[in-house]
Amino acid sequence: MSFACDTDLARPLPSPNHGERRDGRKIDCLILHYTGMATAEAALSRLSDPNADVSCHYVVLEDGGIIQMVNEDRRAWHAGAGVWKGESDLNSASIGIEIVNYGHDGNLPAYPQQQINSVIALCRDILTRHAIAPQRVLAHSDIAPARKRDPGEHFPWAQLHQAGIGHYVAPSPISGGRFLARGEQGQPVAALQAMLALYGYGIEVNGSYDLATEQVIAAFQRHFRQERVDGVADASTITTLRDLIAALPVSQSD
Ligand SMILES: [Zn+2]
């Protein structure tokens, strides 16, 4: 069976791990990952192992090479259990890109610029072919804050935004002042949870700054306020979240 890439940017390395997008779900989301493994070879092998039940549409190598493993019209298995905007089958809604990087287990090695250039080129290419709103270009950690930390707090979201990819505002500077943290209860916590849920995070609005809230705040920081990822909702974190919501497109239909 022949496999044709959806873009001239990629070379093919087909994985058997894919299925139908459920209920004919259209693609409207792009999810970025790091591989979290020591080598690209190990990651490619796992992503095409029929016993591993994982795959993705694209892999971007450290030297900037791009590999396509699953066609875009197929449902790849990269998102796993997760939630965004109340939707849980994100594999059916998304295209998944794995970026070769050892990640937290390898002490967060920097992403080489040539690799980021290829991520940008690939994302731009995908965005020309699918109606994906900027605020639906997400980190794996955004949709699964309790399980995942990729692509990590060193991933250059600001640079992608400058290239026209994703939703982003300049993070509010870190300063002193009032903050919310684990164990707090009450209306301010509920208001914070409601803002996170409004933006898209899967979080219960229960007025209790519990472990799940801490994990969602850490995921938010990994994407939008990378200078300090500690799960504490300091003034900078809350202001950045507020600014981000204010910067959403007016006719937000998702
Ligand atoms: Zn991932």
Per-residue pLDDT of the chain (254 residues; tens, 9 = 90+): 689 999 999 999 999 999 999 999 999 999 999 999 999 999 999 999 999 999 999 999 999 999 999 999 999 999 999 999 999 999 999 999 999 999 999 999 999 999 999 999 999 999 999 999 999 999 999 999 999 999 999 999 999 999 999 999 999 999 987 799 999 999 999 999 999 999 999 999 999 999 999 999 999 999 999 999 999 999 999 999 999 999 998 764 55
- CA 148 to centroid of ligand 1, rounded, Å: 7
Q: Which of 20, 41, 87, 98 is catalytic?
A: 98
What backbone phi and psi angles, to 5 degrees, belong to 71?
-65, 150
- CA 37 to centroid of ligand 1, rounded, Å: 11
- CA 159 to centroid of ligand 1, rounded, Å: 20
- CA 198 to centroid of ligand 1, rounded, Å: 23
Q: How many alpha carbons lie under 13 Å from residue 106 in its C-beta half-sphere?
A: 18
Q: Where are the alpha helices (DSSP H) in 130-182?
A: 140-143, 157-162
Q: What is the bridge-based pairing of β-strands 66-68 and 58-60?
A: antiparallel
What is the predicted pLDDT for the residue at 1? 60
Structure tokens at 221: 């920081």
* Contact between residue 223 and residue 157 where contact means Cβ atoms under 8 Å apart: yes
Q: Give the count of beta carbons closer than 10 Å to the beta carbon of residue 38.
A: 11
What is the predicted pLDDT for the residue at 254? 52
- CA 235 to centroid of ligand 1, rounded, Å: 29
**Is 98 known to be catalytic?**
yes
How many angstroms separate the CA atoms of 138 and 219, rounded? 11
Q: Which residues surround ligand 1, an ion (CB under 5 A)?
A: 33, 140, 150
What is the predicted pLDDT for the residue at 177? 78
